[in-house]
Amino acid sequence: LAGRLSGLGTTIFAEMSRLGVETGSVNLGQGFPDTDGPPEVAEAAVAAIRSGVNQYPPGIGVPELRTAIAEHQERCYGLRWDPDTEVLVTTGATEALAAALLALVEPGDEVVALEPFYDSYAAGVAMAGGRLVPVTLEQPGCVLDLDALRAAVTPRTRLLLINSPHNPTGAVLTREELAAVAALAVERDLLVMTDEVYEHLVFDGREHVPLVSFPGMRERTVSVSSAGKSYSFTGWKIGWVTGSAELVAAVRTAKQFLTYVSGAPFQPAVAAALRLGNAPLVQLRDDLQAKRDRLCTGLREVGFDVHVPAGTYFATTDIRPLGFVDGVEFCRELPRRCGVVAIPSQVFYADPARGRHLVRWAFCKRDEVLDAALERLSTLR
Ligand code: PMP
Ligand code: GLN
């Protein structure tokens, strides 16, 4: 293994999902819904396969999908993108993130990211030869420490990597926090990558504000999203990048040699999903808000300290009130002890000690599955 990748090992999601299968556990670890998205969207993919949409599509994505992505951004946020030059379809948000980091980061450059961070950020920065500089969102509360963010920026900083709604904490940055991030990026002339895959999963009447919508951001921001989260088709791996023609062309250069193109029949289907308008997005959000409440109430009854998320489909608990200290040990034992899988949050920290006592639970599951997990966890009480 090349030195650049040493320490990356096997992702926690693969390890925990495998353990879950081996033990017949209820999987509240890896974030994927156990109910598929709108049936007419699945039918659109089937129809595309049956009608012969099965060969390499254009590298930047089929025109129908690029147009639907641009229309969706205009409808939701008033953002206007040229579908031919400012939109790029990718193989999930994962490829978008990796391609953008490979395209924009020089060896030795620093990338400042909010910690805890989704695991592929560290891998993407490492593959690009960069150095990830974490700025910690302290839990509970997850208020962005703007002084710490400011202090993390050095002359070597190339890019700010922001994620809101945020995995794993479920934090949603406020408009004021986002404005301050944008002002810092402009002041220090930084590129910004903003991972907004959970853009539609914000609760309690909060609104998602795209970071690119702040003054001075359009020319420096690569925005990333995915059909996986918004339409519950995580296995289709259709994501996208929007940004200035110059930045999108840079990302496209890397994408060409990572996957070349992305799944042909899924693209018209995702276009059909985006054209359904707001109804399925609002439905998913409301369903998930109820599931969040169901899981958080149950976890509190089990005895955890629960950090209720403002968005995403993850809740975080502090395991110490139940007498546990280490989340990795807890999560490795939990499948055999109780038949439930969860993710130790410490894997999302540059220094695992900072997240040692935290465990992440996914609530994008059917109510009876959440109830079964809570029933099994009640033996911890
Ligand atoms: N970013 C974040 C914050 C995520 O949680 C995920 C995982 N679903 C991704 C990116 C990757 O998305 P995709 O499955 O579309 O590659
Ligand atoms: N993004 C999801 C999570 O955080 C799934 C990630 C994955 O399997 N790579 O759980």
Which ligand 2 atom minimizes the distance to the CA of 13?
Answer: 8
Nearest CA to ligand 2 atom 5: 31
Taking the CA of 16 as reference, the closest ligand is 2
On the question of pLDDT at 169 being above 90, the answer is yes
- Is pTM beyond 0.80 here? yes
Report whether residue 13 contacts ligand 2, using a CB cutoff of 6 Å.
yes
For 60-94, the pLDDT digits (tens) are 999 999 999 999 999 999 999 999 999 999 999 99
Burial of 232 (0-12, 13-18, 19+ CB in 10 A): buried
Supply the pLDDT for residue 55.
Answer: 98
Contact 183, 176 (CB under 8 A): no
Mean pLDDT of 121-136: 97
Q: How far is the CA of 238 from the centre of ligand 1 (A)?
A: 10
- For the complex shown, is ipTM > 0.85? yes
Taking the CA of 312 as reference, the closest ligand is 1
Mean pLDDT of 293-309: 98
Report whether residue 169 contacts ligand 2, using a CB cutoff of 6 Å.
no
At residue 185, the 3 state secondary structure works out as: helix
For 306-344, the pLDDT digits (tens) are 999 999 999 999 999 999 999 999 999 999 999 999 999
Domain range 3-37+279-380, CATH architecture:
Alpha-Beta Complex (3.90)
On the question of pLDDT at 120 being above 90, the answer is yes
DSSP-derived secondary structure for 77-146:
H-----TTTSEEEEEHHHHHHHHHHHHHPPTT-EEEEEES--HHHHHHHHHTT-EEEEEE--TTT----H
On the question of pLDDT at 259 being above 90, the answer is yes
| Residue the block writes with tokens 């990597």 | 161
Confidence of residue 9 (pLDDT cuts 50, 70, 90): confident
Which ligand 1 atom minimizes the distance to the CA of 238?
Answer: 15
Contact 205, 235 (CB under 8 A): no
Q: How far is the CA of 381 from the centre of ligand 1 (A)?
A: 33
Q: How far is the CA of 329 from the centre of ligand 2 (A)?
A: 20
Supply the pLDDT for residue 10.
Answer: 86
CATH of domain 40-274: 3.40.640.10
Percent of residues, the chain, with pLDDT higher than 70:
100
On the question of pLDDT at 130 being above 90, the answer is yes
Domain boundaries, the chain: 3-37+279-380, 40-274
Q: How far is the CA of 106 from the centre of ligand 1 (A)?
A: 24
